[in-house]
Structure 1
């Protein structure tokens, strides 16, 4: 038996699921296979940043995601302590909840971040994908593939019957996780190493309300004897659902035999991290995993594209894993759609590699650096050479003394905790990608300089390759984001009243090339007006200039002013972007 499809997606996690949803929304014939019987069975990924929620907004599922997520205002009182019931060492306001950062996040996007465990997110994504035409085959395992000039033959196995059969696809997406067989089979090159440290997850139910409701957060970091062994920097008590479902992360020495985590041992670890051995605990699951520091330097091999954990493998620090995976899929899906429709050349697909590999490398290095930055907390407290638990406890307590040594310790601790902003408030890492590829046409201007730290702060710009800045426009008196005007699988052009000729040019070029390109003239008396005059400040071109935006809300090109022949310029640019 041989089945046929335009695109075969292997894997249904954050990357594969969003590839399916994006392709289904764009009307691309595709199929999804996953060796599992259903979606994620443990809460794993959870932090969902603004860029990802924007993507869900464009795909029409933002409301469903936010309804099941824990809201932004409950995410951010991140605590460092000896246990939940013990000494609070310090607190950092995270995920943009500090009043000084709240405005940055609010101004940057129409969408808030949220916390939604993978167990809740995946059914939303897969459900909407299936309702829009995704053909999803569970209990179906990837075996091997063979490419030729016209397509890929993928051998799969039905895990219920054991029968093997072939799926013939024009393109294949390998979204099969951190031990990707697809990436290995097509020979993608990698840098870095796997299993640099050992971690365990313990998912449990317990009512911890009285320890956390006055300091609501997603994460509580616990510094106890052994907390610097393996793991992700310290012990973690992570909220899954407020405030009765939780996940503990504890490390182990990966160079030793893996521990056997029985329910009794898991309850003991939970009680120690909570600091209260009287609370009833119900263990739901336990699992062991390795921290990785590895990234692919190429995501494409012929007609096969890999994404998600298959190509960027790292610990969960910074909450970048599922977000980057979802953004990989969103980047590639519209390009596949345009190529399969015949409105773009095959070379457009090369831009996926060029645009997403730098992002993958960045987030792998950033996540691992965030673990290393916990060392400053241990150093500030004098714990790097404290092997005995009693010595460790005494040195933590020493910081409260009225001595010059304790004052120095407190100052070092303050600086060490401030450093954790690079893990928990890295807004620039989350929103600041600027692409350079054949699908971006430079306008001859130098890249704008960063006025603030580029990891901590997002710098909005319409410089070609950057994400379209969000501002509120007005339509019939109601607020509409620039991101709502863009997207929807089409190209979009923004101009002002003095640049109306660009809108006429867009109509002509769209008809010539058979591409959906909508133009919006922003100004009084037009469909959209500059409600707060924010677009005038964000556009970085004259009122008679234009900003051309791709279907994924990244700027393809811009013109500072109206030119003599806007149709010719726009035709040249769009032809180049689409590799025509």
Structure 2
């Protein structure tokens, strides 16, 4: 390869081809926006890494056209229904809890919340699906083995210096905008000098320590098929191990905590094999070690996600332990959020203020996810041992074995210990692994939307767990089963695909005219879809949508390209406001002209009328 420099021009440059970068790339591809993705490694992920893919991410994949491909490769939700807390795989089980919305206590509310299911698919299986879809679209270019070295931005764009990893040639790319999705050691975040809160763990945390992960092949079918799940948590910190399912039931990531002083000795393959064998508890199981890694649990989040024409997403701005299955899901939602805003900016339809709303919306979500993940880690590996098993300080292997054995005792002490575990399961485990509120129900309080005054009805239970379907601006559009033609579809299938959608009912003519007026003013299409009207193609035969829309039958709900509600109007009298609503959402400052009190919660009259349709 020649060392001669050359330059390239692209509307969008993405630095990093992990989940966030690929999500942004795939969305931009669907929107027809040319772009280049740089990745310093020579291919997609080659180790399992992240694996839980929740309902909201599957909804994003549904919109981007890869849901079926992901489902075909993934372990389905029905095989994820429990977490087992074990002595060893072959030994006595201590506790089991529902997980990922698949267990009996949670499955109904998860099914009501979304047309999609959470699945288990490791990152090295997910990334190739996303990359193939990007390549098939033929809009963006994936450049593996190309490393971002530096960049400078000015008022009109970004100039990046890139190095080819094989051959060493340097070249420049000129882009209108750049997205930094280059991971926890982000060059982009560092160069922007983004402020962070939290701390970087160094392996000395008294509750957690450093974690060693080993990717293995081992047939554990006899110990798992009867209690299918993605996680099997070994509670003995000396001889136990946690097993994360990669492929049922023969491929795993197994891990355990070790003090920093012991890490190097623990990385010896034979020592690892012996430790894993003890964690399995069956010396006859063959163990093939595929890869070894180590990590410390960070707890950091950026206070700002970017500036000007350069913005960051994914692990570049939120870094936390892999708990609750939130990491890659949050990263994918980051990329999905920023992509539609870049599309409108590049088309000349939006003001720069629209891109600022990416930070307004996503930064609070990232901070919330980091806090939740770290708190769950401490609860699992700290609180459980101190408050449930009653171990104070550094316990010996014999003390730990004695306490675990006491859990099985039929006497008063065993009953008391099991009661403590049951409280822990209810208060910590069930909420940690069935957190529908943060998985699907998170809301943007400000940003590219018309915020409403006043408080909505509260959510029962912990806010990360409880979920209430709402059309309040900032929330993701509620799922409801409806019909289009002869097909049963979700309300979510009516929106997305890079467009604004206005869902309404009777009075649709006035809304169609309002959308036409808005397009003449802003250049942006708003697709009007009447639901449940007499002659409409989209029907609401069971009134599922009418019970959730929270507006009159002739009102409207304006939905953004990412499926979040931008505005809602109680009735057709607000149709004349649509143009100013769109101008505000697109970043033009006309908020003072919009009546943000156009919606109230449904009155008895509204609900009664809805049932007549």
Of 206, 225, 229, which residue of structure 1 is paired with 2:218? Answer: 206
**How does 1:236-251 map onto structure 2 within 5 Å?**
236-251=242-257
Aligned ranges 1:477-556 → 2 under 5 Å = 477-523=486-532, 524-556=534-566
Q: 1:110 — aligned with what?
A: 115
Please name the residue that 2:341 is paired with. 335
Map 1:93-492 onto structure 2 (within 5 A).
Answer: 93-132=98-137, 133-197=139-203, 198-226=210-238, 235-254=241-260, 258-259=264-265, 261-374=267-380, 375-378=382-385, 379-385=387-393, 387-418=395-426, 419-492=428-501
The answer as to whether partners of 2:459 and 2:467 remain within 8 angstroms in 1 is no
Q: Is the 8 A contact 1:70 1:116 kept in 2?
A: yes
Residue 82 and residue 5 in structure 1: after superposition, are their counterparts in 2 closer, same or farther (change >3 A)?
Answer: same
Deviates more, 1:29-38 or 1:525-534: 525-534
Give 2:96's match in structure 1, choosing from 78, 91, 99: 91
Q: Deviations over 1:324-362 (max 9, x none)?
A: 000000000000000000111111000000000000000
- Asked whether the 8 Å contact 1:147–1:153 carries over to 2, the reply is yes
Partner Cα distance (1:439, 1:427) in 2: 24
Residue in 2 aligned with 1:27? 32
After TM superposition, the structure 1 = structure 2 runs for residues 6-17 of structure 1, keeping only pairs within 5 Å, are 6-17=11-22
The structural deviation recorded for 1:560 is 1.1
| 8 A contact 2:77–2:119 mirrored in 1 | yes
1:579 corresponds to which of 555, 562, 587: 587
Query: Residues of 2 paired with 1:539 and 1:298: CA distance?
Result: 34
For residues 446 and 552 of structure 2, the distance between their equivalents in structure 1, rounded to whole angstroms, comes to 25
Match of 1:230 in 2: none
Residues 502, 514 of structure 1: alpha-carbon distance in 2 compared, 3 angstrom cutoff: same
- Partner Cα separation in structure 2 for residue 253 and residue 534 of structure 1: 54
* Residues 361 and 444 in structure 2, CA contact (< 8 A), matched pair in contact too: yes
Is 1:67 matched with 2:75? no
Unaligned runs of 5+ in 1: 228-233
The alpha-carbon deviation at position 290 of structure 1 amounts to 1.7
Give distance in 2, aligned partners of 1:293 and 1:304: 24
Task: State the alpha-carbon separation in 2 of the partners of residues 150 and 246 from structure 1.
Answer: 48
Provide the C-alpha distance between the structure 2 equivalents of 1:203 and 1:256, rounded to a whole number of angstroms.
20
Q: What is the CA deviation profile of residues 2-21 of structure 1, one whole-angstrom value per residue up to 9, with x for unaligned ones? A: 11111100000101111111
**Is the 2:98–2:105 Cα contact (8 Å) retained in structure 1?**
no
TM-score by length of 2: 0.91
Provide the residue aligned with 2:23 in structure 1: 18
Counterparts of 1:248 and 1:311 in 2: how far apart (Å)?
Answer: 27
Aligned equivalents of 2:146, 2:27: Cα separation in 1:
21
Pairwise CA distance, 1:476 = 1.6
Secondary structure of the equivalent of 2:551? coil
TM-score, normalization: structure 1?
A: 0.96
**Contact 1:499–1:546, Cα closer than 8 Å, also in 2:** no
TM-aligned CA deviation for residue 513 of structure 1: 2.1
CA drift of 1:385 comes to: 4.7
Per-residue Cα deviation, 1:71-98 (whole angstroms, up to 9, x for no partner): 0000122100111011110100111122
Distance 1:501 1:579 in 2: 25
Give the CA deviation at 1:404. Answer: 2.7
| CA–CA separation in structure 1 for the residues paired with 2:485 and 2:10 | 43
CA deviation after TM superposition for structure 1 residue 181, in Å: 1.2
Contact 1:43 1:119 in 2 (8 A): yes
Q: Distance in 1 between matches of 2:16 and 2:499?
A: 27
Match of 2:604 in 1: none
Size of the aligned set, in residue pairs, is 572
Counterpart pick for 2:51 among 39, 46, 60: 46
CA apart distance, 1:226: 3.3
Higher mean C-alpha deviation, range 354-363 or range 139-148: 139-148
Tell me: CA distance 1:332–1:142, structure 2 relative to 1, closer, same or farther (3 Å): same
Secondary structure of the equivalent of 1:536?
coil
- Tell me the distance in 2 between the aligned counterparts of 1:255 and 1:261: 12
What's the offset of the Cα at 1:273?
1.2
CA distance in 1, matches of 2:301, 2:146: 27
Aligned-residue Cα RMSD (Å) equals 1.6
Q: 1:448 to 1:336 in 2, by over 3 A?
A: farther
Q: How far 1:548 moved relative to its partner?
A: 0.4
Instruction: Name the SS for the 2:489 alignment partner.
Output: strand
Q: Indicate conservation of the 8 Å contact 1:438/1:576, yes or no.
A: no
